[in-house]
Amino acid sequence: MKIYIDGKYYEEGKAKISVFDHGLLYGDGIFEGIRAYNGRVFKLREHIDRLFCSAKAILLTIPMEHAEVMQTVVATCRRNKIRDGYIRLVVTRGVGTLGLNPNTCKRPSIIVIAGKIQLYPPEYYQRGLEIITVPTVRNLHSALNPAIKSLNYLNNILAKIEANNGGCEEAVMLNSEGFVAECTGDNLFILKGDQLITPPLTAGALYGITRGVVIEMGKAAGMSVAESNLTRYDLFNADECFLTGTGAELIPVVKIDGRVIGSGNPGPVTKSLVQKYHALTKISGEPIYGP
């Protein structure tokens, strides 16, 4: 694997950053997780848009134009002969002193890793996931806004550990008011009647790219789609539930905190959205090897 760091490609064992990089010392930086399907980078523009929004929120100037970041991601995929894969794009604050002041950092570093994706086992998609609500609540907007895809993922990691300790792969994270925010690395949707509902960004959800695609697919299929506050009660009494994320795509949820959701099997609407999503990933995206 060849890894891109600040204009050069390095072999895996030689791809290194300084221990004085504030990305490591303080989690001061941002990232994106992106996928390639069938020789195209899916929703690349949207991921880079979100990267620039995260950068703006933390006052980090990415030392590259938007178009050039897109080209760098595509070039790294090409260099690694990727047709289907996972891309991790990271921008760190850069090398500075041991103090936390970001002004001591000379220049942000841009890293692109293009490799294989680790997928959930197929059984999870066929049977559906069991998830649980965990004690760790989602970060407050007024503290560290959950819309920022920062390198500081401890909030999510703690929730993930709590889910794992409870024998589950994913966790429902509530916000400080007790409304559903999202999962540790996925957004959450329910189906109630003919309405698709997902928590609003103000509830503490990341502006998920897959979430956005699913909202559009639902509307295009003539469904009513709402971004409204959900409680655990709403989840328990949903007809269907599924999670969305670049890595997981759409994954059905069949049990939450011991309550069976709907029929206890992946529902028909979830299945149809999964098919639509797969179809879209096959035909759209930024071409890696030319049109």
Binding residues for ligand PXG (CB under 6 A): 33, 156, 182, 185-187, 206, 208-211, 244-247
CB of 182 to ligand PXG, least distance (A): 5
Q: Which is nearer to ligand PXG, 3 or 105 (CB)?
A: 3
Q: Which is nearer to ligand PXG, 95 or 131 (CB)?
A: 131
149 is catalytic: yes
Catalytic residue among 56, 81, 106, 149: 149
Residues whose CB is less than 8 angstroms from the CB of residue 243 and which lie 6 or more positions away in sequence, other chains included: 129, 131, 170, 183, 186, 187, 188, 189, 250, 251, 253
Least separation in angstroms between residue 246's CB and ligand PXG is 3
Cβ closest to ligand PXG, residue 209 vs residue 217: 209
Minimum distance of ligand PXG from residue 196's CB (angstroms): 16
Q: Where are the alpha helices (DSSP H) in the chain?
A: 22-26, 44-57, 66-79, 122-127, 154-165, 209-220, 232-236, 268-283
Burial code (b: 16+ CB inside 10 Å, e: under 16) for 134-158 equals: bebbbbeeeebbbbbbbbbeebbeb
Shortest distance, CB of residue 116 to ligand PXG, whole angstroms? Answer: 12
- In the block, residue with structure tokens 């071409």: 287
Which amino acid is present at 178? G
Pick 24 or 265: Cβ nearer ligand PXG = 24
Q: CB-wise, 130 or 186, nearer to ligand PXG?
A: 186
Give me the helix-helix angle, 44-57 and 66-79, nearest 10°.
Answer: 130
CB of 66 to ligand PXG, least distance (A): 17
Amino acid symbol at 199 = P
Q: Which long-range contacts (CB under 8 A, 24 or more apart) does 224-228 make?
A: 224/194, 224/195, 224/196, 225/195, 225/196, 225/197, 225/198, 226/195, 226/196, 226/197, 226/198, 227/197, 227/198, 227/199, 227/200, 227/201, 228/197, 228/199, 228/200
Q: Could you give the residue numbers annotated as active site?
A: 149
